[in-house]
Structure 1
Amino acid sequence: MTMTVVPAPAETGHSVAPPGRNRRVRQHWGATPYLFLLPALTLLGVFFVWPAVTAVQLAFYDYRVVSPAEFVGLGNFSHMLGDDRFYTALTNSGLFLIGMLPILVVIPLLLAVLVNLPLRGIKVFRLVYYLPVVTSMVAVAIAWNYVYHQRGILNWLLNTLGLLDQPVQYLLDPGWALPALVLVESWKSLGYYMMIYLAGLQSVPRELYEAAAVDGAGPWRRLSSITVPMLRPYIAVVMVLAALDSMQVFTSVFVMTQGGPQDGTLTLGYYIYDAAFRHFNMGYASAMGLVLWAILVVFSLVSYRLTRGKAAAR
């Protein structure tokens, strides 16, 4: 009968660590990810969390920078209820929402269907439509200022086609200024939402289109019966993101119209800036910012409900 001798841990060259040491090692490695995150979390706290908390606090104070803050409770919000300019800004933001939402939901979908086709040079087409997204809004607004100028290319083109008798000052006309800015904001964002739809189109099985083509379905029939139903979760996301963008319009208003003419393009974003940095009423601006934040939270909750419901259905 053969006996097998198992060497002791010391004989094998390996030592067995005490249980307490293993626990300390595990605890040490458990804290390591947080040490790597510490610089980013510090920056987030200094430049986002702390200003946000301060803004919420200032919403309940009368603070005009040059004088000490004075607690007024809900005074800023009660003043807001009687402020006609606030209602004008809220209405104009709603008009931006009504004007931009159909454009940013429908046109990017059609563009995504187009750029998803296996055509020659389609990558260049995608690049051209995405360039405005990565271009500074300030540069875009300045360029469109020349387009809308009384002697700009738009008036020249319409006059050449015989559609216009005399030049229109688009940014100085209360009836034209807001639609002009809606067009600028929508044009800049088309490529962004197009890419969202394009990502969704990549997940649609090609067999569905092939089967529909065999059955004699045309392009519009395939779009309405296959593409749109399959992209409903993406459409829901685009709708809410577009709504959030439209409620936060600021840069184009700041560069092109300054809220005019006659407050015709005054938005909540610009009115908050105007109250804070032109009239130095930081408390009132913070209160309006809190209201805008509440509106954005409502849109975000709607987005969550829609996307969760669609995901569960799938």
Structure 2
Amino acid sequence: MIVGRIPGQRWFTPYLFALPALALFGVFFVWPAVTAVQLSFLKYDVVSEPVFVGLDNFVRMASDPRFWTATGNSLLFLVGLFPLLVVLPLLLAILVNQKLPGIRTFRMLYYLPVVTSMVAVAIAWQYVFNQQGVLNWLLTGAGLLDQPIQYLLDPFWALPAVILVEGWKSMGFYMMIYLAGLQTIDSSLYEAARVDGASAWDRLRHITVPLMVPYIAVALTMEMLDAMQAFTSVYVMTRGGPQDATLTLGYYIWSAGFEHYEMGYASAVGLVLWVVMIGMALLNHRLTRGKA
């Protein structure tokens, strides 16, 4: 008996298998997303009844200097993470793809920060960036600093410090994405290039990078999304300070919603961030499509 030949019989079977996943998707994504869109047009402080205000939240956002500061910092976050999460992991993946002694141990150790809680990582790095921390000790000992710097309290150094922590924690994850891509490349291509006298740089430029474009596109999209949503490291290390130097859109949304109880305004900012991230992902897809 061939299943599906009789009209109306068992047509719903595939949907039954998908039902648990669809239910979870609806409860934890679709419903919160629809609710957030609704809240973005309301004034709601959790205690009082929601009041419809139309586009007032978006008008306020456009004239709020802290929103533009957060947007600028998030874009700086994106630029700062690019070499740490898109470029450097590719070079590391090329390294760990070699058959070298102890390379499996190196892979494991380098991936360890990825599975470590960001809260724990941020607290540990706070000690590194402390005025009496390891970084100041090394730099002053090497004669590169005259006096210690309190990095997380300095408006110039605070954002680069947080970017470094985010990049350090996630670098191993992006390295594994690239490593998976490298292992799909036919080794005969490299052997033929060596026979033709191609240098390591030539092999990287003409073989590795072109064939890795789909993986680079994935890494770039994920890097953009991570940068625009950065929250935990900012919350633990700086709380958006000093002087809003590390105020990101992710932290700004949380602050508006859970510190000032402006759920409608926070939802409006979140909706704008959502649209921006979708636009970035589509733009990246368009630019990299067909280049592999």
Q: TM-score, normalised by structure 1?
A: 0.88
Residue in structure 2 matched with residue 283 of structure 1 by the alignment: 264
1:23 aligns to what?
A: 6
Q: Based on CA coordinates, which of the two structures has the bigger radius of gyration? A: 1
Task: Report whether the alignment pairs 1:150 with 2:131.
Answer: yes
Query: Structure 2 length normalisation: TM-score?
Result: 0.94
Following the alignment from structure 1 to structure 2, what is the Cα–Cα distance between the partners of residues 309 and 219? Answer: 25
Q: Of the candidates 199, 208, 221, which is equivalent to residue 180 of structure 2?
A: 199
Q: Does 1:35 align with 2:20?
A: no
Query: Is the contact made by 2:217 and 2:285 (CA closer than 8 Å) also made in structure 1?
Result: no
Name the CA shift for 1:22/1:268 in 2 (closer, same or farther; >3 Å): closer
Q: Does 1:292 align with 2:240?
A: no
Root-mean-square deviation (Å):
1.8
Q: Is the 8 A contact 2:46 2:261 kept in 1?
A: yes
Q: Percent identity?
A: 66
d(CA) in 2 for partners of 1:56, 1:22: 43
Whichever residue aligns with residue 191 of structure 1, its letter is G
Question: 1:252 and 1:105 mapped to 2: Cα distance?
Answer: 20
State the distance in 2 between where 1:178 and 1:154 align: 16
Please report how far the alpha carbon of residue 58 of structure 1 lies from its aligned counterpart in structure 2 after TM superposition.
0.5
Where do 4+ consecutive residues of structure 1 move more than 4 Å? none
Show CA shifts across 1:39-68 (max 9, x none).
332232222211111110000011111111
Q: Which amino acid aligns with 1:215?
A: D
Which consecutive unaligned segments of at least 5 residues does structure 2 have? none
Aligned residues: 290
AA partner of residue 254 (structure 2): Y
1:189 to 2:181 alignment: no
CA contact (8 A) 2:127 2:133 kept: yes
Partners of 2:192 and 2:27 in 1: CA distance: 56
Q: Choose which of 205, 219, 229 in structure 1 pairs with 2:200.
A: 219
Are 1:59 and 1:284, in contact at CA under 8 Å, matched by a contact in 2? yes
Shift of 1:300: 1.9
Q: 1:193 to 1:260 in 2, by over 3 A?
A: same
Secondary structure in 2 matching 1:30: coil
User: Quick check: 2:131–2:149 contact (8 Å CA) kept in 1?
Assistant: yes
Greater CA drift, 40-49 or 188-197: 40-49
- Contact preservation (8 Å) 1:240, 1:302: no
